[in-house]
Amino acid sequence: MIEIRNVSKQYFISSSKGYYHSGSGRLGDHLATVVRHPLRSIRSARQPKECFWALKNVSCDVQKGESVGVIGRNGAGKSTLLKILSQITYPTEGEVVLRGSVGSLLEVGTGFHPDLTGRENIFLNGAILGMTKKQIEARFDDIVKFAEVEKFLDTPIKRFSSGMYLRLAFAVAAHLDPDVLIADEVLAVGDQQFQTKCLGKMREVSEDGRTVIFVSHNMHAVKSLCQSAILLRSGKLAGKGPVDEVISEYSRSLEVQDGMFPVRAKEIEIQSMEILQSGRDAILIDGAEEFDIVVRFYLPERVEKLRMGVFINNSLGDELIRSYFTDWDPSNDSLGPGGFEARLTFPRKLLVAGNYTITIGAHRQGGFDMLAGHRVERAINVSMPSDFNSGGMADPLRSQIILDRRWDLRKS
């Protein structure tokens, strides 16, 4: 369904007047759209001094009916690849062959006109996908029902909330029967119920024999939806294969963190930081089970009034939990010299599903940061416990914490 042939994409950091690439793709043989740079054979003599390759020599094929996850760290080139597949931008080198129509949801607002109503944007997007008015009308009710925006259908979408906007955009992209559905971080916005609906709809699309390309930092979602995955690292293809194998490779690359450990500061050395579940270092955390945070560190001399521990932040950067060694045991107030291992067993059924960052903090009470200039952290992805009942439409301002307690409810 998709052939990606030695695709590279270059962006210029320094400006160069008169150097600009633009144009459109063409319809190739076998009713396949060939996406290549319109000026690939014309190279300007004035090359900028600074450039950045967002993608470099990426080649792979995607089969019809295959669900493929595209994963990698921020800046790896995931969104650039999807923009090329969606024909929003063009490769500097190489080409992409697309067979069939493509429906894309790259970010909130892509392909929508803010001054048009929800109703008008549905017909606009359908026309862009090459559908007739009659075909769009046949799916119109399903789109509106899925998006849950009936009351606001004739309101300009610039007045929609981000959640309403995303629901309508996804509903249009998924229900207008594209041969290839591309979704970039569609689960980053929206409540738990909407995320579940999105995954369910993408499964239906895949089971109907259509192709799904899915980008997400939620590894549990990628694992549940996709049979295979593509791993990008610094713009290059670092792996493609069964989804479990590629996610494992991605996990190993995060563990290395570009040689982060040991972290040597003036008064402390952080030798390692592990997130352990079922005895193994992991970034994919089962929210129904406990996990351990293990920090190994060395103090060259005794430190008095030490305040050391971990901070847990959500994907928006909000600090949810701060836990110091001394919170419940004042005897840990003074440590050193020597090596230490600190272990915190994190309770099960506490964090809602999502991405979190665990950061080490260390300072003297009333003093300066002992790790100034060094950010020591690990990223984890937590799944929702399977027995947790999210129940209907979730509060958009929902808490980040769930409580593993049962109500005593009886008739009075």
The top-scoring range by mean pLDDT among 93-97, 216-220, 395-399 is 93-97
**What whole-number distance in Å separates Cα of residue 383 and Cα of residue 1?**
32
Question: Would 161 be classed as within a structural domain?
Answer: yes
Q: pLDDT band for 222, please (50, 70, 90 cuts).
A: confident
The reported pLDDT for the residue numbered 22 is: 37
Residue 230 shares a structural domain with residue 339: no
Residues 61, 179 within the same domain: yes
Residue scoring higher pLDDT (54 or 396): 54
354 torsion bin: left (phi>0), alpha (psi -120 to 50), beta (else)? left
Backbone angles phi, psi at 292, to 5 degrees: -110, 140
Answer whether residue 216 is part of any domain. Answer: yes
229 within a domain of the structure (yes/no): yes
User: Residue 300 is part of a domain; what is its CATH number?
Assistant: 2.70.50.60
3-state DSSP call for residue 240?
strand
Residue that terminates a domain, selected from 254, 285, 304: 254
pLDDT digits (tens, 9 = 90+) for 274-288: 999 998 888 889 999
User: For residues 212 and 297, what is the distance between their CA atoms, to the nearest angstrom?
Assistant: 45
Please indicate, yes or no, whether residues 119 and 189 belong to a single structural domain of this protein.
yes
Cα 202 from Cα 393, distance rounded (Å) = 20
Nearest to 308 by CA among 291, 292, 321, 326: 326
State how far the Cα of 379 lies from the Cα of 314, in Å rounded to an integer.
10
Residue 145, domain member (yes or no): yes
Burial (CB < 10 A; 0-12, 13-18, 19+), residue 214, is: buried
Q: Side chain identity at 353, as an amino acid letter?
A: A
Q: Which of 254, 282, 304 is the last residue of a domain?
A: 254
Same domain, yes or no, for 278 and 250?
no
What is the residue range of 358's domain? 268-383
Q: Into how many domains does the chain fold?
A: 2
CATH number at residue 62: 3.40.50.300
pLDDT tens per residue, range 71-98: 888 778 898 998 899 888 889 999 999 9
227 plus 289 within the same structural domain = no
Comparing 58 with 46, which gets the higher pLDDT?
Answer: 58
Residue 315 scores a pLDDT above 80:
no
In a domain, 392, yes or no: no
Asked whether residue 246 falls in the same domain as residue 288, the answer is no
Q: What CA–CA distance (Å, rounded) separates 313 from 287?
A: 16
Three-state secondary structure call for residue 241: strand
Q: What is the DSSP string of 265-317?
A: -SS-EEEEEEEEETTEE-SEEETTS-EEEEEEEEESS-BSSEEEEEEEEETT-
Q: Which of 34-48, 242-256, 347-361, 367-381 has the lowest mean pLDDT?
A: 34-48
Across the chain, what does the average pLDDT equal?
81
In a domain? residue 388: no
Pair (236, 353) in one structural domain: no
Per-residue pLDDT band for 408 (boundaries 50, 70, 90) equals confident
Task: Tell me the backbone φ, ψ of residue 349, rounded to 5 degrees.
Answer: 50, 55
3-state secondary structure of 125: helix
In this structure, are 71 and 184 located in the same domain? yes
pLDDT at 120: 92
Residue 204 reports pLDDT greater than 60? yes
pLDDT tens digits for range 349-360: 999 888 888 999
Query: Is residue 395 a part of any domain in this protein?
Result: no
- 246 and 179 within one domain: yes
50 and 156 within one domain: yes
Cα–Cα distance for residue pair 164/151, rounded to 1 Å = 11
Give the residue, 408 or 47, on which the prediction is more confident: 408
Last residue of a domain, one of 201, 226, 254: 254
pLDDT of 28 strictly over 50:
no
Which residue has tokens 């008015």? 133
List CB contacts of 249: < 8 A, sequence separation 6 or more: 231, 238, 239
Helices (H), 183-233: 192-207, 219-225
Residues 13 and 130 in one domain: yes
pLDDT-based confidence at 44, cuts 50/70/90?
very low
- Orientation of helix 162-175 relative to helix 118-128, angle to 10°: 40
Q: Do residue 246 and residue 272 come from a single domain?
A: no
C-beta of residue 88 within 8 angstroms of C-beta of residue 28: no
- 396 domain residue, yes or no: no
